[in-house]
Amino acid sequence: MQGNPSGVTTRHSPGRPEQDGSGSDPAAAAGTTSWSRRGPGVLLGCATALAGLLYVLPAGIALGPLLLWPATRPGALGILMAGARRLTRLEWTRRSFFFGDRFPEHYEASDRRILRYLTVRSCAGLVCLLVLGLLGFGVVLAGLLLSGAIQGSLRWDELLMQALLGGVLLFLDLQGLRSLLALDARLARECFGPSEQELLHRRIDELASSRAAVVQAVDAERRRIERDIHDGIQQRLVALAMLLGRARRGRDPEQADALLRQAHQESRDVLAELREVAWRVYPSGLDSLGLEEALGGVSERCGIPVRTEFAVRGPLPRSVETAAYFVVSESVTNAAKHSGATAVSVDVVLGGRALTVRVQDNGKGGADPAGIGLSGLRSRVEALDGALHIDSPEGGPTMVTAELPCA
């Protein structure tokens, strides 16, 4: 469903994707709609501009005193905006039908923006009507000049001078018409969707939020690594040192041999846990073996069966591979430790310019998207302009889907 400024929603057939909530680009719209369709849209725009001017001026003059008085301003403004929104709805339909524009969903322009749009659009439309009239007048004059040259009533030097002057005027006329069409498209984007300045501010806010989230995710990952080393590896090393100390001080050879066997097993466990912590920091196999083999390592280290479907042909950006790996690794680890799942499926598919990573388990669900692990994944994915979706109802199953742009 697509929303227009008047609050009416209209269904559109699937088209090209919208860019950051902005309206369609004029150049792109020109490529998708022919002049046989855009021409009537331009002529209709001249008529709607005249209608808008005939509404705004009398209504503004009649309701002006009421708009100046605070007690009557809301009612007068409501009457003025009722007609203004109808005219704006007509303009929205004209741009969508004749020019193929697609505007953001559920976007409603303010009253001030609608009035500004109607005023500027009416003036621009009347100028466009004047330019079209001059163009038609020039065509008639060109026909008369050509007829005079054929009949011999006009000398060739005069005809050449008139043709040169007419060519210059035609060029200026067409350039003016092109600029007015571009202005019409820009006014529509500013009224029916976020303006370029708003999109820039929104992008700046997104980048600032993403940067702050990445910093928080890195700090959280460092705290988790410190906790794993302190609570896991450090405790095992202390136990290993105690076993070796008891074996060195012991006088019974059999007891010393048993303590050395325990120390040997403890050292192997320390190495395994240290390797696990190192892989959580960054998997070295991702650089040497690639994403598919690195995901195979995740499946081998998991305590429950993991089915992996990898449908990617060709290389991927290193940042995308790293994010995809950590999405799978964190999701599989959570499923094995917290969900009580008995099976996990991993699907990695490259479609178009985006890599889709989907991890699903048959556990009890209830995963908290605001948790340290999942929020860190979200920050990592959003730093690449991707999206992370977590569906984990109580009772399961849990599905984690990451969409990572590769362009």
State pLDDT tens for residues 268-278: 888 877 777 76
Mean pLDDT of all residues in 293-314: 84
The pLDDT-based confidence of 357 (bands split at 50, 70, 90) is: very high
Stated pTM of the model: 0.48
Contact yes or no for 377/327 (Cβ under 8 A): yes
Q: Give the mean pLDDT of the chain.
A: 79
Closest C-alpha among 390, 388, 210, 391 to residue 405: 388
Q: Kindly report, residue by residue over 13-31, the tens digit of the pLDDT.
A: 333 333 344 444 443 444 4
Closest C-alpha among 379, 385, 331, 332 to residue 355: 385
Mean pLDDT of all residues in 260-272: 82
Q: Is 12 helix (H, G, I), strand (E, B) or coil?
A: coil
Closest C-alpha among 85, 101, 93 to residue 185: 101
On the question of pLDDT at 116 being above 70, the answer is yes
